[in-house]
Amino acid sequence: MRFAPSPTGNLHAGNVRTALLNWIFAKQQNGVLILRIEDTDQVRHVIGSEEGIATDLNWLGIEWSEGPDVGGEFGPYRQSDRLKIHEEYAERLLREGSAYKCYCSEEELQMEREKALANRLPPRYNGKCRDLSAEEEKKKISEEIKPVLRFKVREGEVSFVDLIKGEISWKLDNIGDFVILRSNGMPSYNFAVVIDDALMKISHVIRGEGHVSNTPRQLLIYEALGFKIPKFAHTPTILNKEKKTLSKRHGALSIKRYREEGYIPDALVNYLSLLSWSSESGDDILSRERIVDEFSFSRMSSSSAVFDDDKLLWMNGQYIRALKSEDLLNLSLPILENSGYTTQNLESTAKILEAVKGNLTKMSDLPQYVELFYKSEVEPDGAAERELIEKEESKQVFNNFINGVEKYNEISADDFKEIMKQVQNDTGIKGKNLWMPVRIALTGQSHGPELPMLIEFFGKEEVVSRIKKVMGS
């Protein structure tokens, strides 16, 4: 298996899904995953994107055993470093008569194309230079035109069985002689992939559906060179909310963004695995082990899927809630410190996290939920809150509550519930009128985590002092 991204920007959900599928399948088959960088287009090459790709994959736990960084017996793993190899095979095709030099200029070709289009004909290369006589060729050479190498497409048809889409076939008269070596000496994509995949002994080519139409050209090259043809699996496209195919611009659905916003890698992996694939069990929350174990191409749908951020968010929340408190703590510490909160006391930090765990769908939400735990002074949030705690009824609640609390040395969550029951009995006040004054006195806000949990966190003294403060004002 191999994942072969081009270094033209950050990884997005589509790229990464392909990488993930390769990883899953390699893992399941006890196979080897190769990372190969396809950088034959220097114009679109973006500096630093190779590192970015590695960072994203590492973060998601997609590991490869051969690649430009780790080496391996089938290297080099950067396509631009394989030029000699590509040239060698191009020459062989030329020698064997499967390819020929073409001297047509871009302007010429462009004109031909427009003419064909105007006549409502397929805009294909017309094979002009296919059978150039020795004389004509000599003339072209003397004109110092740098030729490209074109592959001579045979007659008949080609077909293959896609692991996801089933049998696909083409009549070859629909395909024009295509370029395998550009005039600058660089191989074209369709040529280089075949050489590299064959030489790296790739057994399964798992790639995006956009490549389906490239496959007949590649099959022809495999054929001409006598290479063993790998199995192909073309994965459906992932679309954004506007149902457009993902682009590298605008950072849309970029993996980097998910990493920075504190998504759990496992959650993203899980969500991505469920795009165009489903477990036979019907379960949604699946561990990596289960995905690897249960995956099969036959359960993959062949239509494109829209990436749904809402569902990802939900799933991420599920993973956060399932986190062991130790792991949650480790994940949270840097975020809290970044927001300026002191986390010296690990025990109490863990308690805070436990209290807000249920509210989180992504870790970057954490600061807004923990704020009230770090405040030492509390002021009622708004007019409505202020009004409520100044009501006569509320003062009754406070008095009674303090009396109740004083009977304890420490108050646990259960003690608190007992006390509240007692207050309700004594005052006859219940429901909102009973609980809200306490909440506001303690936190200043009408929203927040469960009160018993809060009480336990603050402890008796803090609780009493906060209530007294409100009563005095």
Partner RNA sequence: GGCGCGUUCGUCUAAUGGUUUAGGACGCUGGCCUCUCACGCCGGUAAUAGGGGUUCGACUCCCCUACGCGCUACCA
Which 58-97 positions form the footprint of RNA (CB under 7 A)? 79
**Selected binder of RNA within 28, 55, 183, 343 (CB under 7 A):** 183
Using an 8 Å Cβ cutoff, are 292 and 27 in contact?
yes
The SS3 call for residue 264 is coil
Name the residue nearer to RNA (CB basis): 390 or 418: 418
Q: Which 241-270 residues touch RNA, going by CB under 7 A?
A: 243-245
For residues 139-158, which are near RNA according to CB under 7 A? 146, 148
CA 405-407-412 angle, 5° bins = 55
Nearer to RNA, 92 or 432 (CB): 432
Please identify which residue in 3, 25, 89, 125 interacts with RNA, judged by CB under 7 A: 125
Q: Nearer to RNA by C-beta: 166 or 226?
A: 166
Nearer to RNA, 87 or 284 (CB): 284
To the nearest whole angstrom, how small is the minimum distance from the Cβ of residue 397 to RNA? 12
Among 1, 179, 353, 411, binds RNA (CB under 7 A): 179
Q: Judged by CB under 7 A, does residue 52 bind RNA?
A: no
Cβ contact 297:230 at 8 Å = no
Using alpha carbons, list the distances in angstroms from residue 152 to 90, 217, 256.
12, 10, 43
Tell me which of 166, 226, 340, 472 binds RNA, using CB under 7 A. Answer: 166
Among 1, 328, 420, 441, binds RNA (CB under 7 A): 420
Does residue 15 bind RNA (CB under 7 A)?
no
Of the candidates 40, 41, 35, 42, the residue with the CA atom closest to the CA atom of residue 11: 35
Q: Which is nearer to RNA, 204 or 207 (CB)?
A: 207
Q: Is 236 an interacting residue with respect to RNA (CB under 7 A)?
A: yes
- Residue of 358, 382, 428, 459 interacting with RNA (CB under 7 A): 358
Is position 298 an interface residue for RNA (rule: CB under 7 A)? Answer: yes
Site string for RNA, 429-458 (x = CB under 7 A): -xxx-xxx--x------xxxxxxx------
- Asked if 386 and 380 touch (Cβ cutoff 8 Å), the reply is yes
Alpha helices in 8-163 (DSSP H): 13-28, 49-59, 83-95, 106-118, 134-142
CA 326 – CA 214 distance, rounded (Å)? 49
Residues 6+ away with beta carbon under 8 Å from 93: 99, 149, 151, 180, 221, 224, 225
Tokens of 441: 């006195």
DSSP character at residue 77: -
The smaller minimum CB distance to RNA, of residues 139 and 337, is found at 139
- From residue 404, give the alpha-carbon distance in Å to each of 419, 422, 459: 6, 8, 14
Please, what is the angle between helix 346-356 and helix 366-374, to 10°? 120
Residues 58, 65, 213, 403: which binds RNA (CB under 7 A)? 213
What is the rounded end-to-end Cα distance, in angstroms, of the chain? Answer: 71
Q: Based on the shown chain and the rule CB under 7 A, indicate whether residue 275 belongs to the binding site for RNA.
A: yes
127 counts as binding RNA under rule CB under 7 A: no
- Sign of the dihedral through C-alpha 251, 255, 260, 263: positive
Residue selected from 33, 129, 158, 186 as contacting RNA according to rule CB under 7 A: 186
Distance CA 21, CA 277 (A): 10
Which is nearest to 312 in space by CA: 256, 265, 280?
265
Q: Which is nearer to RNA, 301 or 345 (CB)?
A: 301
Least CB distance from residue 395 to RNA, whole Å? 18
What is the helix (H) or strand (E) element at residue 170, kind and residue range? strand 166-171
Site for RNA in 302-321 (CB under 7 A): 302-306, 308, 310-311, 313-314, 317-318, 321
113: contact with RNA by CB under 7 A: yes
165 binds RNA, rule: CB under 7 A: yes
Interaction between residue 349 and RNA (CB under 7 A): no
Q: Which of 94, 109, 219, 252 binds RNA (CB under 7 A)?
A: 109
Residue type, 118: A
According to the binding rule CB under 7 A, does residue 281 interact with RNA?
A: no
Q: Which stretch binds RNA (CB under 7 A): 90-98, 260-268, 332-340, 423-431?
A: 423-431
Work out how close the CB of 97 gets to RNA at its nearest, in angstroms, rounded to a whole number: 20
Going by C-alpha positions, the residue among 151, 148, 139, 137 that lies closest to residue 104 is: 148
Contacts of 102 (CB under 8 A, 6+ apart): 125, 128, 129, 147, 148, 149, 150, 177, 179
For the beta sheet containing 99-102, the strands, ordered from the edge strand earlier in sequence to the opposite edge, are 99-102, 148-151, 179-181
Q: Does 375 bind RNA (CB under 7 A)?
A: no
Using CB under 7 A, count the residues that bind RNA.
93
Query: Minimal distance in Å, beta carbon 263 to RNA?
Result: 15
Judged by CB, which is closer to RNA: 138, or 171? Answer: 171
Q: Is 130 in the site for RNA (CB under 7 A)?
A: no
Closest separation between CB of residue 344 and RNA, Å? Answer: 26
Residue among 3, 89, 189, 398 that touches RNA (CB under 7 A)? 189
